[in-house]
Amino acid sequence: MSSAIQVLILDTFAAYGAAGQAWALRVADCESHYNPNAVNSSSGASGLFQFLPSSWASTPQGRQGLSVFDPAANAQGAAWYYGATGRTGGPWSCK
């Protein structure tokens, strides 16, 4: 499963080049080990990139009502944050 998730992440972050793709793979591995159903029981962070509920709600995908557990939507939300924060890694502690 993780190889399909890795391809999804690489495709989603393609517009950000190799550096963006490498960042995304590192963060998704660190945050969820590429598990789109991961949940942090202490913070409530969920999904592939471990969005906090408030952070997910602020993404275009969250505002559209897409599930944080949808790996494509979660990766798109992470890519949106990555671009919106000037490619700094935004709210993630894993970088």
pLDDT for 88 equals 76
Can you tell me the distance from the alpha carbon of 35 to that of 83, in angstroms, rounded to the nearest whole number?
A: 23
Domain spans of the chain, in order of start? 2-84
CATH code at 2-84: 1.10.530.10
Whole-model pTM: value is 0.93
Reply yes or no on whether the pLDDT at 1 is more than 90. Answer: no
Q: How many other C-beta atoms lie within 10 A of the C-beta of residue 31?
A: 21
Q: Is 4 left (phi over 0), alpha (psi -120 to 50) or beta?
A: alpha
Reply yes or no on whether the pLDDT at 95 is more than 70. Answer: no
Can you tell me the distance from the alpha carbon of 67 to that of 30, in angstroms, rounded to the nearest whole number?
A: 21
Condensed to tens digits (0 to 9), the pLDDT of residues 13-67 reads: 999 999 999 999 999 999 999 999 999 999 999 999 999 999 999 999 999 999 9
Can you tell me the distance from the alpha carbon of 27 to that of 21, in angstroms, rounded to the nearest whole number?
A: 10
pLDDT for 56 equals 96
